[in-house]
Structure 1
Amino acid sequence: MKKKVMNLFLSGVMLLSILVGFRFSSSAADPVIKSGNPIFTSIFTADPSAHVWNDGRIYVYASHDIFPSRGSDLMDKYHVFSSDNMVDWVDEGQILSAADVSWGRPEGGFMWAPDAAYKDGTYYLYFPHPSGTDWNNTWKIGVATSSKPASDFTVQGYINGLPGNSFIDPAVFKDDDGSYYLYGGGGGNSYGAKLASNMMSLDGPLQQFTGLTDFHEASWVFKRNGIYYLMYSDNNPSGNQMRYATSSNPLGPWTNRGVILDPVKNSGTSHGSIVEYKGNWYMFYHNAEISSNGTLRSVCVDQLYFNADGTIKKVVQTTDGVPAVGPRSRATETKYYDLVNENYSQYTQKTDYAMTASNVTFGGGATRPGNNIENMHTSGSYIQLSGINGGSGGKALLTVNYASGDAGTAFKVNASGDTAGDGYFLALPGTGGWGNYTGKTSRLIDLNAGTANTIKLSGGMGGANVSGVSVSLIPSQPPQGTEYPMSGSNVTFGGGATRSGGNIENLHIAGSYFQLTGVNGGTGGQASVTLVYASADTSTTFKINTSGDTTGNGYSVTLPGTGGWGAYTGQVTRLVNLNAGANNTIKVNGGLGGANVSRVIVTLNQ
């Protein structure tokens, strides 16, 4: 569980290996997509408890590491995730928090590893939570119920007759005869007991198991071919291992069988569950792959295999996870290998924001000595962008350009569309210097529909100086606005720029430009200027000047390469200011990399 509290260390280093996924096909000849590990990326999760219910879906009940981490005491809520193919996972949302527990610790927190059970139309959630400020000696096992597997849970009370200082990590097992058993323990003490028919009290004495090799916590029990299996974590000094024992009785005695999961990456704790789904056996566990911080963990899954005698082969921890066991289906979780490999090719509607833009504010110790925002290492520091266009709502790609002399930094990102309210973790690896603005890091976030979104970057976890931010959307349709082809009579050019075949070229030349006149600004204010272009350069920068820019500084926009001077697939968007009326001018200045422009689209944000 959480007792090995580790120092907060955010290296920001993320996995760089390329993992390739394929579509699912029922044909054995076709490769299938894999889940990738970790499987949950929207929030930090740990202690997965997996169950298959009558609706045919697999559900994972997980604890929630709150970011920024304050250690295990801040964990105070539970989420449920589900899938019908082991690859496309849905975050069903938060089902319980410390605030919902009337008898709980006044300070909250300490909602550690949960488990779930189902009986006669009711779903039961079992969770450990202290009832007093002296949390280590006041543990209780709470019980919440619902008629649904992933929502509307209500706390009913807690189970009496359990130790207050050594019973955590509840696990509930249903035997073939319909009997239910409760397991748990911590600090070297392992327990089990039969549950009464009301599922909230014990039917018989609590039994303490003896003879288990180095028991620490994280009990899990299942049955296969008449053999009962008890899995748990040990006290291995370099990180918990998952061990297991077997018995012919649900309450032992137990025979030690050895280690089935080695210490996990970047986390000293380990906790897991084992379940069969659609003919395959799986182990769910957590690691700290995303954060490199043992108190910010993420749930993973790998396949589990048995030997002929019923013993378990050691689970191989992978980065590609498990293959799909059904056709593609709905999902809210972004696969980890998409995050780290920047598989963002659909997010082409890009808007850049300089740190001097009028919609950018900062505070909490952050400063802006020039064009960049600095001192983001200060606790409480932040950068906030307002008036962000979320299009039709949903996923958006946030990209931060920065410099950092630290080895690793993290920002917390809050966005208007984050319904969970937990924010997003953004890693910023060091660039080798505070003036070395070569850093670029991205994260998928959620935005609401419309142009009233806000995005807040919070610092205090290592330092980084920020030079710019961009937000990219998946265009739901071609930009709606007024198109200005480069062959138009209101387009002039010069400084070495030329016009060939209706396109403006040679914008790599210092002093080159093209200018549009007679642009309609409506009632005045913000407008989106979209450049449609082709470029064989890796990256190009244009400066845009407009009539409505009262600062006179212009607007910078970055144009990624399209693979060729004739590949007019590029499209970038920049918010600018225009005056009211139809007499605006827009001037695009080149000289920093090359791009050929075919047309400009002006969309009024009114």
Structure 2
Amino acid sequence: MRKKLLSLFLSGTMLLSVFVGFTSSSVAADTVTQSGNPIFTSIFTADPSAHVWNDGRIYVYASHDIFPSRGSDLMDKYHVFSSDNMVDWVDEGEILRADDVPWGRPEGGFMWAPDAAYKDGTYYFYFPHPSDSNWNNSWKIGVATSDKPAADFSVQGYIGGLPGSNLIDPNVFRDDNGDYYLYAGGGGSSYGMKLADDMVSIDGPVEQFTELEDFHEATWVFKRGSVYYLTYSDNNSGGNRMRYATSSSPLGPWVNRGIILDPVLNSETSHGSVVEYKGNWYMFYHNGKISSNGTLRSVAVDRLYFNTDGTIQKVIQTTGGVPAVGPRSHATEIKYDELINESFDEYTQKTEYAMNSSNVSIGGGATRPGANVENMHTEGSYIQLNGINGGTGGKALLTVLYASGDSGSAFKVDASGDPAGDGYFLSLPGTGGWGSYTGRTNRLIDLNAGTNNIIRLSGGMGGANISRVIVSMVPESTQETEYAVNGNNVSFGGGATRSGESIENLHIPGSYFEVSGVNGGTGGQALLTVLYASAEAAATFTVNASGDLSGSGYSLSMPGTGGWSTYTGRVSRLIDLNPGTNNVIRMNGGMGGANITRLIVSSVQ
């Protein structure tokens, strides 16, 4: 964590878009599934600390850049991510925040780069946090514990006997003999020490590693064979590089070996971790690719290779990331190349919202002089869409059509189904003018099931005039069941008759037929379709269904087909069914005639 970033604020001019001009790498044509970089896209993350625990999954403990950004002083709310194949990542959720730290800085924030360890059934989470408003001179290394790797952590206190100034970026290393060591430091000072058996105090002196070349922060120690490796970020002007040193002892002395990671994209800071998983070595790091902003970073990963003499080759930063090391599995994180792919072919169920639609409201300085919403550069401005249909819930594609005379702007998007509650970053590249409505930008969001979703677009980070918003979903699959009217589950009465494969004489008042044993699936709305013939100009039926809460039934109009034997009629309407297979559908005649051959029920899965 570089303290010079504390005064940086999010500016629309800083947000050069990564959503335009992107060209997929050769990964797209590769038969091997790649992770894509960055690997976490649901929230902004930095300072990744990667570990492999006994359950065989790889876990990444990351710090969290809050959006919209106020610089690194606002960082808070640690999340954990895990995978079993390096491609499909799951956001395990938040495990700790500043509010959980009883001895912490009253103003909160400043939850910087963390690390984790495991010993005798307990997971230990180490995090730096100031204990006073004078944050720079009051750093503590806090410790939280849990019996789970990614949930239920409780703060136990902090490690005593450590320097208070620049003591950030803790790293815990377990040696082959079971001893644990703690490393920390920043601002040019690097420290290492042995941890006591309780994992929350030190055992022995605090060593300062003055021999490291141009040390800045971000210590990470690992072991390969008999060699100990220490990686860290340097003070390179314009962007940190990651360097490394080696030793035959966990506390040095260290021999400087050179640079293993060049400055990362769109971020002056650099912070990494190195881990072996399923026979491969990886380096996790962060960059500013998604936001083009050094205070809104995202975690990436690439392969790390050793030379035969044990030295490390420079890590090549890629767009494609790393290949899968196992079969596809559950994931909550959308791969970056999928996130910015503008085709989204499967999202074909589209609903467009003009900015003067009845369910669209504005505020905070936004204006609507005509059909478009303007002045979204104003801090606090917003557009809110109410009553959005999320279907059965899950991912939806948000598309915004706009014009912008700025070089690059951004919106924060809040959506009802957002599991992290952080909102989504939406980049709006300039279009060359405030009247040039050629802009089209996409973002996958999460919606709840049902029709009560809210989507809110917040401005204040560069300007854009909005003409239209489109919400697209993957069409829900349907299960279609046909019910012939000569089946054993069909009964009739009131003057209705059954002739062969059709029900007739439904023009008689009181006539009816009903179909029993109709499958309502999980319950709710279903589409009823009736196939028929009619020589009337039009007929009307009342439909009763088991799930109808009103009890008054549904009206179904059936236009004439030109003859009683012309079975070309087909009409549909939504009805309500109960869950399960015990539903009854009853059709009541007496208001014009129709001969009916078949009912089709399409229930949403």
- For residue 189 of structure 2, what is the aligned residue in structure 1? 189
Q: 1:99 to 1:409 in 2, by over 3 A?
A: same
- Whichever residue aligns with residue 321 of structure 2, its letter is G
* Superposition deviation, residue 31 in structure 1: 2.8
Contact map agreement 1:4 1:269 (CA 8 A) in 2: no
Alignment correspondent of 1:322: 322
The match for 2:417 is 417
The alignment partner of 1:229 has SS state of strand
Corresponding residue of 1:241: 241
1:4: Cα distance to partner? 3.2
- CA, structure 1 residues 484+219, in 2 after alignment: closer, same or farther (shift >3 Å)? farther
**C-alpha displacement of 1:341:** 1.7
Q: 1:8 aligns with which of 7, 10, 26?
A: 10
DSSP-derived class of the 1:202 partner: coil
Q: Map of 1:387-466 to 2, 5 A cutoff?
A: 387-466=387-466
For 2:228, the equivalent position in structure 1 comes to 228
Aligned partner (choices 21, 24, 38) of residue 18 of structure 1: 24
Q: Offset of 1:377 from its aligned partner?
A: 0.3
Aligned-partner Cα distance in 1 for 2:571–2:44: 42
**CA distance 1:7–1:69, change in 2 (3 Å):** closer
CA distance in 1, matches of 2:239, 2:529: 60
Q: Measure the CA separation in 1 of the matches of 2:535 and 2:296.
A: 58
**2:361 matches 1:361:** yes
- The one-letter code matched in structure 1 to 2:194 is K
CA distance in 1, matches of 2:397, 2:154: 36
| Distance in structure 1 (CA, Å) of the matches to 2:93 and 2:414 | 17
Aligned CA distance change for structure 1 residues 7 and 364 (closer, same or farther; 3 Å): closer
Contact 1:399 1:471 in 2 (8 A): yes
* Matching residue's letter, 2:280: N
Q: What is the letter of the counterpart of residue 186 of structure 1?
A: G
Match of 1:160, SS? coil
SS at match of 2:337: helix
- The count of aligned residue pairs is 503
CA drift of 1:8 comes to: 2.8
1:274–1:284: 8 Å Cα contact kept in structure 2?
yes
Partner residue in 2 for 1:577: none
Q: Residues 376, 582 of structure 1: CA spacing in aligned structure 2 closer, same or farther, 3 A cutoff?
A: farther
Which stretch shifts more, 341-350 or 226-235?
Answer: 341-350
Instruction: Specify the alignment match of 2:585 in structure 1.
Output: none
Q: CA 1:317 to 1:101, structure 2 compared with 1: closer, same or farther past 3 Å?
A: same
Could you list the per-position Cα deviations for residues 115-144 of structure 1 after superposition, in whole angstroms to 9, with x for gaps in the alignment?
A: 000000000000000011011111000000
What pairs up with 1:302-313 in 2 under 5 angstroms? 302-313=302-313
Q: 1:233·1:271 contact (CA, 8 Å) conserved in 2?
A: yes
**Could you tell which deviates more after superposition, 431-440 or 377-386?**
431-440
C-alpha distance 272-518 of structure 1, shift in aligned 2 (>3 A): farther
Q: Determine whether 1:334 maps to 2:324.
A: no
Moved more, 192-201 or 396-405: 396-405
- Alpha-carbon offset, residue 477 of structure 1: 2.0
1:278 alignment partner in structure 2: 278
Deviations 1:406-461 (A, max 9, x none): 11010000010012110000000111111111111111111111001100000000
Q: Residue 187 of structure 2 aligns to which amino acid in structure 1? A: G
Distance 2:224 2:530 in 1: 69
Would the alpha carbon gap of residues 257 and 399 (structure 1) be closer, same or farther in structure 2, given more than 3 Å must change?
same
Larger radius of gyration: 2
After alignment, is 227-236 or 336-345 more displaced? 336-345
What is the rounded CA distance, in whole Å, between the counterparts of 1:43 and 1:270 in structure 2?
Answer: 18
Instruction: Give yes or no for contact 2:383–2:458 (8 Å, CA) kept in 1.
Output: yes
Counterparts of residues 111-126 of structure 1 (less than 5 Å): 111-126=111-126
Change (3 A) 1:380 1:463: same
Q: CA deviation at 1:600?
A: 11
Question: Quick one: structure 1 residues 111 and 601, their matched pair in 2 at CA, closer, same or farther if it must change by over 3 Å?
Answer: farther
In structure 2, C-alpha distance between the alignment counterparts of 1:600 and 1:338, rounded to whole Å: 40
Judge conservation of contact 1:172–1:181 (CA < 8 Å) in 2.
Answer: yes
Task: Give, in angstroms, the shift of residue 484 of structure 1.
Answer: 12
Distance 1:604 1:110, change over 3 A: farther
Deviations along 1:514-567, one digit per CA (max 9) or x if unpaired, are xxx9999x9xxxxxxxxxxxxxxxxxxxxxxxxxxxxxxxxxxxxxxxxxxxxx
> Counterpart of 1:18 in structure 2: which amino acid?
S
Aligned residue for 1:73, secondary structure, equals helix
How do 1:54-69 and structure 2 match up within 5 A?
Answer: 54-69=54-69
Contact kept? 1:2, 1:112, Cα under 8 Å: no
SS of the aligned residue for 1:454 comes to strand
**1:380–1:459 contact (8 Å) kept in structure 2:** yes
SS at match of 1:413: strand
Rate the CA distance shift 1:4–1:603 in 2: closer, same or farther, 3 A: farther
Q: 2:155 maps to which residue?
A: 155
Whole-angstrom CA distance in 1 between matches of 2:276 and 2:427: 35
SS in structure 2 opposite 1:55?
coil
Whole-Å Cα distance in 2 between the matches of residues 297 and 129 of structure 1?
Answer: 20
2: distance between equivalents of 1:178 and 1:429?
52
TM-score normalised per structure 1:
0.79
| Runs of 5+ consecutive residues of structure 1 not aligned to the other structure | 24-29, 491-516, 523-579, 584-598
The answer to whether residue 347 in structure 2 is matched with residue 347 in structure 1 is yes
Change in 2 beyond 3 A, CA 1:601/1:191: farther
How far the C-alpha of 1:602 sits from its partner, in A, is 7.5
1:295 counterpart SS class = coil
**Residue identity opposite 1:161 in structure 2:** G
1:374 is matched with which residue? Answer: 374
* 1:160-195 C-alpha deviation (Å, 9 max, x unpaired): 011111210000000000000000101100000000
Write the letter of the residue equivalent to 2:23.
S
- Report the 3-state secondary structure (helix = DSSP H, G, I; strand = E; otherwise coil) of the residue aligned with 1:369: coil
Other-structure match for 1:566:
none
Cross-structure match for 1:386: 386
Q: Identify the residue that residue 298 of structure 2 maps to in structure 1.
A: 298
Distance in 2 of aligned mates of 1:152 and 1:182: 23
Q: Deviations 1:477-497 (Å, cap 9, x if unpaired)? A: 259547899xx999xxxxxxx
2:563 alignment partner in structure 1: none
- 2:340–2:443: 8 Å Cα contact kept in structure 1? no
Unpaired runs of at least 5, structure 2: 479-524, 544-553, 558-569, 578-605
